[in-house]
A and B are shown apart, each in its own frame.
Chain A
Amino acid sequence: MSGTVGLVLVSHSADLAAGLRDLLRQVAGDAVAVTLAGGDDDGGLGTSYELIRDAIAEAGSGEGVVVLPDLGSSVLTAKALLEQHPDPKVRLIDAPFVEGAVAAAVIAATGADLDTVATAAEEAWHARKL
């Protein structure tokens, strides 16, 4: 898994995070580390500080990690965690969840650096579907 930027998917729903990872694997292949922080500590809908922390640690390679939250408390919890444990190689990204993850994963699969992967995810705001 080394050599590519890793992705962390933070979602209220473990199923949503896992389903998105399935999609990323199909589009971008298996070369990119994609780890999940889905749901709360009890497996219900919600957000877990600990799951996010663990997912970041698991995704970490020397190349860096982008953290993609879905919405609401996923964003707030990830933001709080990264403010308490700042790391220049771990970047919280403001992007549409599905599109940003797909764009980031594919670019990461090419071996792109952290800045490039982060920018690709953020540019997903401007990608029209039709």
Chain B
Amino acid sequence: MPESSETTVVLPAHLHARPAGQVVVTAAKFTSTVEIVYGAKTANARGVLALLALGATAGETVTVRATGPDAPQAVEAVATALHTTE
């Protein structure tokens, strides 16, 4: 039974190209599957175009969800990336 973990992030900036790229690069360091959920949309953190297509804007809340052996660490790292990129 793989571990799963999630947290929410209030975006300090639009989830535009640069932060989306940071999310992909960060998530790739973990073996867990990482997803970003915004409203009714879910994007795998492997796909920068899918992340951009979420259309998540500054001030909105997204959920970072991971499933796998390093899920808590993956969620924390991706949430940090979302907090700190501009």
Contact = CB atoms under 8 A, between A and B. Distances in A.
Contacts of A26: 17-18, 21
Interface string A17-59: 0000001001111000000000000000000000000000000
Contacts of B29: 110
Interface string A94-130: 0000010011001101111000000010011001111
A17 B53 CA distance: 24
A109 B48 CA distance: 12
B16 to A, nearest CB: 9
Contacts of B74: none
Interface residues of A, number: 21
A29 B23 CA distance: 12
| Interface SS of A by simple majority | helix
Interface of B is mostly: helix
Given A27-B20, A127-B53, A128-B53, A109 B47 contact: no
Contacts of A127: 47, 49-50, 52-53
Contacts of A112: 28
A48 to B, nearest CB: 29
Contact of B24 (A106, A128, A129): A106
Given A102-B49, A127-B50, A110 B24 contact: yes
Interface string B10-27: 000000011011001100
B55 A106 contact: no
B49 A27 contact: no
A99 B51 CA distance: 12
Contacts of A128: 53
Contacts of A29: 21, 25
Interface in B58-83: none
A99 B25 contact: no
A127 B21 CA distance: 15
A110 B28 CA distance: 6
Most chain B CB atoms below 10 A, which of A27, A99, A112, A130:
A27
